[in-house]
C-alpha cells in the first residue's frame, strides 16, 4: 500500500501550514504543523522548506512501513526539500511526487480548518472555489481582531500594500533564553539556532564598540611663559 503526504494552508493568510500523512492500507492519519513564524520575519529566507522536510520526516517515521511500500508526496513547492530528503532516506524508487486528491486531501484540509477555527475564525464554506474572496475574508477578520495578527503570514511581500500589515514585523517579539545569564527575555527578531541571543543587560557586554577619532584640533597643553 501507499503513504500519502499533503499540505493545507500554505496559500492561506491565517496560521501556519498543516502537513498530513495518510496510509491507504490502515486508514491511519497523522498531521503536524509548520509554525506561522516561518512565514513572518524570515519568510524571504525560505526556512519553511527545511522545516517542511523536518515535519515530513517526523510524520513518516511514525508509520510502520514495509520495505516495498511507496511514499507519495504532493508536487507543491513546499515539499521540494522534503521530497529530496525522503528519497535519500528511503530510495528514489519508493518516493514519488504526485497530485494529491481524495481522502488524503480531505483529511489534511479538515485538520487545517480545525486549527484556524481554534483561533476563533470561521472559514468560508466556498473557500476552495473562491480563493480571492477567502483571502479578503481572512483579512477583514484580522482587521476586526488586530491582536490576532501574530497568527498571520505577515512575511508575504504582497501584503506591504495593505495598511493593516505595515509595521507588523517591527512590532513582533520572540521569547528566548539569554545565552549568557539564562534569563527568559523577548527580542524583536527571529532567533537562529546557531547564533547566541542575549538579554538587554548582557548585550551591553557584547555589542561592538566603535572607537572613532575625534575631529578637529587636538587639545594642547598651554604653557605660560
Q: Residue 212: is its pLDDT beyond 50? A: no
Tell me, letter by letter, the H, E, C secondary structure of the chain: CEEEEEEECCCCCECCEEEEEEECCCCCEEEEEECHHHHCCCHHHCHHHHHHHHHHHHHHHCCCCCCCCEEEEECCHHHHHHHHHHHHHHCCCCEEEECCCCHHHHHHHHHHHHHHHCCCCCCCCCCCCCHHHHHHHHHHHHHHCHHHHHHECCCCHHHHHCHHHCCCCCCCCEEEECCCCCCEEEECCCCCCCCCCCCHHHHCCCCCCCCCCCCCCCCCCCCCC
Beta bridge partners of 19: 7, 32
- pLDDT at position 42: 76
Q: Residue 112: is its pLDDT beyond 50? A: yes
Averaged pLDDT score across all residues of the chain: 86
- pLDDT at position 7: 98
| Spatial contact of 22 and 8, defined as CB atoms under 8 Å apart | no
Mean pLDDT of 64-73: 95
Lowest mean pLDDT across 120-124, 128-132, 149-153:
128-132
- pLDDT at position 163: 86
- pLDDT at position 178: 86
CB crowding 45-64: b at 16 or more within 10 Å, else e: eebbbebbbebbeebbeebe
Count of other CB atoms within 10 angstroms of residue 78: 22
CB neighbour class for 42 (10 Å; exposed up to 12, middle 13-18, buried from 19): middle
More confident residue, 102 or 1: 102
C-alpha cell at 42: 524570515
Q: Which CATH superfamily is domain 2-117 in?
A: Prp8 RNase H domain, palm region (3.30.420.230)
Q: Percent of the chain at pLDDT above 70?
A: 86
More confident residue, 165 or 17: 17
Over residues 158-204, the pLDDT tens digits come to 898 888 887 654 555 667 888 889 888 877 566 776 778 888 788 77
Lowest mean pLDDT across 4-13, 90-99, 186-195, 203-212:
203-212
- pLDDT at position 223: 41
Mean pLDDT of 75-104: 97
More confident residue, 7 or 125: 7
- pLDDT at position 114: 97
Q: Residue 213: is its pLDDT beyond 80? A: no
Q: Residue 140: is its pLDDT beyond 90? A: yes
Mean pLDDT of 119-136: 89
- Residue ranges of the domains in the chain? 2-117, 174-203
Amino acid at each position: 500500500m501507499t503513504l500519502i503526504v499533503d499540505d493545507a494552508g500554505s496559500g492561506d493568510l491565517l496560521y501556519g501550514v498543516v502537513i498530513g500523512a495518510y496510509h491507504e492500507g490502515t486508514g491511519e492519519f497523522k498531521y503536524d504543523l509548520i509554525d506561522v513564524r516561518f512565514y513572518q520575519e524570515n519568510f524571504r529566507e525560505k526556512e519553511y522548506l527545511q522545516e517542511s522536510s523536518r515535519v515530513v520526516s517526523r510524520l513518516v517515521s511514525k508509520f510502520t512501513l514495509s520495505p516495498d511500500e511507496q511514499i507519495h508526496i504532493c508536487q507543491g513547492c513546499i515539499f521540494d526539500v522534503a521530497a529530496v530528503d525522503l528519497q535519500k532516506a528511503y530510495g528514489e524508487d519508493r518516493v514519488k511526487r504526485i497530485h494529491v486528491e481524495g481522502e488524503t486531501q480531505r483529511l489534511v484540509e479538515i485538520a487545517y480548518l480545525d486549527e484556524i477555527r481554534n483561533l476563533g475564525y470561521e472559514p468560508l464554506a466556498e473557500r476552495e472555489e473562491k480563493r480571492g474572496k477567502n483571502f479578503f475574508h481572512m483579512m477583514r477578520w484580522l482587521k476586526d481582531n488586530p491582536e490576532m495578527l501574530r497568527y498571520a503570514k505577515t512575511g508575504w511581500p504582497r501584503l506591504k500594500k495593505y495598511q493593516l500589515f505595515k509595521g507588523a514585523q517591527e512590532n513582533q517579539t520572540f521569547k528566548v533564553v539569554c545565552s549568557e545569564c539564562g534569563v527568559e527575555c523577548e527580542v524583536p527578531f527571529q532567533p537562529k539556532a546557531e547564533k547566541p541571543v542575549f538579554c538587554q543587560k548582557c548585550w551591553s557586554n557584547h555589542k561592538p564598540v566603535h572607537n572613532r577619532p575625534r575631529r578637529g584640533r587636538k587639545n594642547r597643553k598651554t604653557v605660560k611663559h
